[in-house]
């Protein structure tokens, strides 16, 4: 499996533009999955071009939640690939169709419960109080890989949901963990709780925030995977 970060707050490859938002391409077996689309269509498009990623080769789109820093780049897909299945949290169904009124109904797949999207690729099902969101779990030979958009319902809560259902180890957790508005004390407490769930490689980015990422470094050292826009991670 290969993951390429297309949109992120942080820099990895200086040729690419950084901005508040998240998107990545997941190449798994012979499939190409677009996870979220970042905030601004122009930046999303420019980064795709610089990374030489061709949207004609995508097989499906997964939108974690309705926030614009994850769905703002969707017009790039809407313009050229209305044939792609789009997996969205069921609570986003109405808003999605209002925003993208010409998207074929049969291609919109609202997710409520945990489902298998492709062999080995799952949605956790939507959860959360204020913001409803779903995350992606991918099964690999090294263990499970979790990818989150903003983890609004809580990264620990998402992980607990996964470990409740599966005995497989968590190999990597990548995405926004939403520590950005938390106090230092809260971040430290969350990290202490997180340590009880064994994650081999955390890969925090996007809304994890400056302090959040720094604290991840302190806690996980060299097992942390550096992220940022343009980063390619092979599992
Ligand atoms: Fe976000
Ligand atoms: Fe968000």
pLDDT value of residue 165: 87
Residue 168 C-alpha to ligand 2 middle, in angstroms? 28
Ligand number, closest to the Cα atom of 133 = 2
Average pLDDT of every residue of the chain:
97
Residue 67 C-alpha to ligand 2 middle, in angstroms? 5
Q: Is the pLDDT assigned to residue 108 strictly greater than 90?
A: yes
d(CA 49, CA 188): 39
- The 10s digit of each residue's pLDDT in 164-191 is 988 999 999 999 999 999 999 999 999 9
Write the DSSP symbol of residue 72: T
Containing domain of residue 144, as a range? 2-234
Domain at 156, CATH number: 3.60.15.10
Helix (DSSP H) and strand (DSSP E) numbers for the chain: 7, 13
Ligand number, closest to the Cα atom of 37 = 1
d(CA 52, CA 128): 35
Confidence (pTM): 0.98
Domain count, the chain: 1
- The 10s digit of each residue's pLDDT in 1-55 is 999 999 999 999 999 999 999 999 999 999 999 999 999 999 999 999 999 999 9
d(CA 232, CA 209): 20
Residue 198 C-alpha to ligand 2 middle, in angstroms? 25
CB-based contact 137:175 (threshold 8 Å): no
């Amino acid at each position: 499996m290969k993951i390429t970060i297309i949109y992120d707050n942080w820099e990895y490859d200086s040729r690419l533009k950084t901005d508040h938002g998240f998107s990545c391409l997941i190449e798994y077996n012979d499939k190409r999955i677009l996870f979220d689309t970042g905030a601004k269509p122009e930046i999303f498009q420019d980064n795709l071009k610089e990374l030489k990623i061709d949207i004609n080769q995508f097989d499906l789109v997964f939108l974690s939640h309705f926030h614009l820093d994850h769905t703002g780049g969707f017009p790039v897909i809407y313009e050229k690939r209305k044939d792609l299945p789009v997996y969205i949290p069921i609570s986003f169904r109405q808003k999605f169709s209002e925003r993208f009124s010409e998207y074929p109904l049969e291609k919109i797949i609202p997710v409520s419960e945990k489902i298998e999207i492709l062999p080995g690729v799952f949605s956790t099902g939507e959860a959360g109080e204020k913001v409803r969101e779903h995350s992606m779990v991918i099964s690999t030979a090294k263990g499970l890989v979790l990818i989150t958009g903003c983890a609004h319902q809580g990264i620990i809560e998402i992980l607990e949901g996964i470990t409740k259902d599966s005995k497989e180890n968590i190999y990597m957790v990548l995405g926004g963990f939403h520590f950005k508005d938390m106090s230092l004390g809260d971040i430290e407490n969350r990290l202490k709780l997180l340590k009880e769930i064994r994650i081999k490689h955390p890969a925090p980015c996007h809304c994890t925030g400056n302090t959040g990422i720094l604290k991840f470094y302190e806690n996980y050292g060299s097992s942390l995977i550096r992220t940022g826009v343009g980063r390619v991670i092979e599992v």
